[in-house]
Chains A and B, each alone.
Chain A
């Protein structure tokens, strides 16, 4: 129980920081000072206190969507232990079943896409339509990736996969894992609307995806939507760091161990966000209709990873 509460606090608490770090990296690359890494915390707390403007076309779906999206995303977060230690892994919700994870996220996405259509605005529909394409193109790659990792650990449970990774010395050097790692990075970039797929910093209607769907939201509803998006980003990052870069040395027992594990976790996800920031700086945004190529690459790589698992050893 204590782990579940810790998990909730860590995931929700750390999630906005990742966006801050990525923005900071981009600012530095542009020789700007940039906003503080904590800017998103200020934004959210400000939005929480603001009044809302609700479209008069909107129905209850629009009002319910932020809560459903946030609730289901956080529920998915409970399936992904932040630290691969015994206690965390055992307390993962339902053993962290990978399929439940995927389909719980799908619940949030379903309502997010509906919310985009609810206000009758063109932008919302545009965003939903694009989100639908991107997410469905990447779903098979993510599934094959998780299946392959699951085969290595003999179970589709995310905790077992993490335990297996921890048992391997440097899992990312394993032939199956290294390919799946690339797949997961592509999934991360696409699912969280990062640069080669979508530019989160822009509000230009030709390019937006996630921003278009939540364009009509304001106040606390917007805050929940933004927070849910950053939580989703952090869960996929958590998956990546714990699957491919686990802590392989033994941690001290007791509270000190837990604290150390959390610190190490925070350090690793921050490093990963720096990496994502660098990727965002170095790549250009793809044309929307080139995204399928990226998805195809991810799919082929995922299949390669799967075959590697059988051919080159486990």
Chain B
């Protein structure tokens, strides 16, 4: 085993995170010291980790073993390894943790003296370590242990502010859902292990090719639902919009930015690479799930006024977009159009990084808003752009990026997804084509609705007049928090302007894991990082777009000046129709903003409104009016509630007929069981 310097650096990174966890616990009583030290260690670890995985990706040269411990217990070994696929996901994780840790130094200060910051930092570092371990797991057992560890630690972080009952409820839903998923994954792992005798998952080639066809299909479905629950695809998404508002914002950023991506990693690792052969219907299933998640995710997001719930629903949308890319890639792969498959899967993985950058950033932005105004309700905000100008710029960048608007990174990955769909259509059958074109339409629709949603988020919370005292008295957040957001915003722009940096890394990932090359279809050469992208004759270069737009704006300013001459601008109140001066309550609200969409898609939202007039003679002299608007969570009401009610009824029936509490009945059960067993041993 020959380890190079960068591999040692990786080990050092792991030690750094451990040190962060330990210092958190050691300085349990000194909140500032615990928080600062622990986060500094995390930043150091992330920086080292980033360097080492980038070098690994550039250098290549097969999987690297970090730890291989085989204790005397049969079938039990812990293996930590990383290949290019793991390295890419680790890169995403490290970039995110670096920014989030920097942000946390300032952000956690509102916990000082109120909560046990040491424990929080310990959990934070452990959470990062557990996510790393999922990426590093070299065999099924290690993967499952890491997966469980990640779920449990994140549960603790979700319920960290446990005195609020809704947080505890959210945590319960989360832990139940995630364990249902984990159970399915475990069944799949058992099938895979028993039928092939194979345990390794990282190495050369596919490990589970020996599985019979039926078992492969079963494992696909089990893994899809199992990982899908973690990813938050509809209809297994109900934990996401509950868990995110409960967790603090830096944790939400990690959970949404990376933890749900571990499911994408799982799907790529096991389904695309592991089985050594993909069926078309697998791709179709994933594609359809992606379409549903993309459209419904953003549609539900539009109805939310709690920033973090809104962002949680956008995570569902973005997972949908990733699924569309993966599904398209799998369909193309199964039909043996490898270059198209490479572009589609690369688009999905690229979007994974992009989503980590902008969604991580948006959650940090939501945290900054909450830090400054103590509220997460958009309806209480307004006018923050004047109070928090830097945060506003960053949140605007993230909003543009997530809406896939040029020149940010969201557009590049969606462009690649569109291109792969377009390239595949002439080759597919009519049935696949219909779904593909609907996927493209869904992508366009989701993008447009996301833009509306982020106009709402940014417009209502940052523009206009403050809608509450808190918003009026907001102050800019500390520089460390701005730094964390700034890093992510800058990376959003860099990844958008120089997509080839990422695509070069992805090329290495795909060559190693699936023997796919991106570049045959993505002509234009690998070397110049800033040259444009070209897929089957379609060209795109973000730098050129940005340059042209900036040049046009730069030309317009003097041109207008020359044509119009000097003109004065006068400050005056907003037009108030000649009545009393305009106040903050006359502004458009977030509810009003999304109302047209609520009405048009009422079948989806089932909106309700009640107007209660109170007073002695409510009809003529109302004292008080209450107006409530609500939407129904269709999936909870018509899917989960039905199941829960059914289970409840079943257990009631069992209680009445089987478990009656009568000792005689129990004795007779024992008798019957003993008789049956005797009979069984006699006969067989």
Residue positions of A touching B, CB distance < 8 A: 45, 48-57, 59-61, 67-68, 70-72, 74-75, 78, 93-95, 97, 99-100, 102-104, 106-107, 109-110, 113-114, 116-126, 128-130, 132-133, 135-137, 139-144, 147, 150-151, 154-157, 160, 215-216, 219-220, 223-224, 288-289, 292, 299, 302-303, 306-307, 310-311
Residue positions of B touching A, CB distance < 8 A: 382-383, 385-386, 400, 403-406, 411, 415, 418-419, 422, 425-426, 430, 433-434, 437, 440-445, 447-449, 451-452, 454-456, 458-460, 462-465, 532, 536-541, 544-545, 548-550, 552-553, 556-557, 560, 563-565, 567-575, 582, 584, 586-588, 592-597, 599-600
Could you list some 5 contacts between A and B, CB below 8 A? Answer: A67-B556, A110-B455, A118-B463, A120-B587, A302-B441
Contacts of A307 in B (CB 8 A): 430, 434
A216 adjacent to B575 (CB under 8 Å): yes
| Residue from B400, B454, B464, B539 in contact with A107 in the complex, judged by beta carbons closer than 8 Å | B400
Contacts of A136 in B (CB 8 A): 445, 448-449, 451-452, 597
| Residue from B458, B549, B563, B588 in contact with A72 in the complex, judged by beta carbons closer than 8 Å | B549
B403 adjacent to A106 (CB under 8 Å): yes
| Residue from A48, A70, A118, A302 in contact with B563 in the complex, judged by beta carbons closer than 8 Å | A48
Contacts of A215 in B (CB 8 A): 575
| Residue from B448, B454, B539, B572 in contact with A139 in the complex, judged by beta carbons closer than 8 Å | B448
3 closest cross-chain pairs (CB), A and B: A125-B588, A117-B459, A48-B564
B452 adjacent to A156 (CB under 8 Å): no
**Bound-state Cα–Cα, A151 to B430, Å:** 14
A132 adjacent to B552 (CB under 8 Å): no
Closest-CB distance, B478 to chain A (whole angstroms): 22
Contacts of B426 in A (CB 8 A): 151, 154
User: Given A54-B572, A133-B596, do A156 and B553 touch, yes or no (CB 8 Å)?
Assistant: no
B567 adjacent to A140 (CB under 8 Å): no
A114 adjacent to B458 (CB under 8 Å): yes
B449 adjacent to A117 (CB under 8 Å): no
B465 adjacent to A144 (CB under 8 Å): no
| Residue from A71, A125, A135, A219 in contact with B567 in the complex, judged by beta carbons closer than 8 Å | A219
Contacts of A219 in B (CB 8 A): 564, 567, 569
Contacts of B573 in A (CB 8 A): 55-57
User: Given A143-B440, A310-B433, do A155 and B538 touch, yes or no (CB 8 Å)?
Assistant: yes
A140 adjacent to B595 (CB under 8 Å): no
| Residue from B433, B443, B464, B588 in contact with A57 in the complex, judged by beta carbons closer than 8 Å | B464
A140 adjacent to B385 (CB under 8 Å): no
SS class of chain B's interface: helix, strand, loop or mixed?
helix
User: Given A93-B548, A139-B445, A139-B447, do A156 and B422 touch, yes or no (CB 8 Å)?
Assistant: yes
B567 adjacent to A50 (CB under 8 Å): yes
A125 adjacent to B538 (CB under 8 Å): no
B588 adjacent to A122 (CB under 8 Å): yes
Contacts of B440 in A (CB 8 A): 143-144, 147
B459 adjacent to A113 (CB under 8 Å): yes
B569 adjacent to A129 (CB under 8 Å): no
Given contacts A59-B462, A94-B540, A120-B574, 7 further A-B contacts (CB under 8 A): A61-B463, A106-B448, A107-B400, A123-B575, A136-B451, A157-B537, A216-B574
B596 adjacent to A129 (CB under 8 Å): yes
**Bound-state Cα–Cα, A106 to B458, Å:** 16
CB-CB nearest in chain A for B569: A52
| Residue from B403, B458, B459, B570 in contact with A53 in the complex, judged by beta carbons closer than 8 Å | B570
Contacts of B560 in A (CB 8 A): 48, 220, 223-224
Most chain B beta-carbon contacts within 10 A, residue among A72, A110, A120, A129: A120
Most chain A beta-carbon contacts within 10 A, residue among B440, B447, B464: B464
**Bound-state Cα–Cα, A307 to B434, Å:** 8
CB-CB nearest in chain B for A60: B385
**Bound-state Cα–Cα, A142 to B411, Å:** 17
B463 adjacent to A117 (CB under 8 Å): yes
| Residue from A70, A71, A118, A311 in contact with B459 in the complex, judged by beta carbons closer than 8 Å | A118
**Bound-state Cα–Cα, A71 to B383, Å:** 26
A129 adjacent to B593 (CB under 8 Å): yes
Contacts of A56 in B (CB 8 A): 571-574
User: Given A156-B422, A306-B437, do A117 and B538 touch, yes or no (CB 8 Å)?
Assistant: no
Contacts of A48 in B (CB 8 A): 560, 563-564, 567
A121 adjacent to B422 (CB under 8 Å): no
B557 adjacent to A125 (CB under 8 Å): no
Closest-CB distance, B452 to chain A (whole angstroms): 4
A220 adjacent to B544 (CB under 8 Å): no
Contacts of B594 in A (CB 8 A): 129
Closest-CB distance, A91 to chain B (whole angstroms): 13
Closest-CB distance, B290 to chain A (whole angstroms): 15
**Bound-state Cα–Cα, A51 to B568, Å:** 5
**Bound-state Cα–Cα, A15 to B537, Å:** 31
Contacts of A114 in B (CB 8 A): 455, 458-459, 463
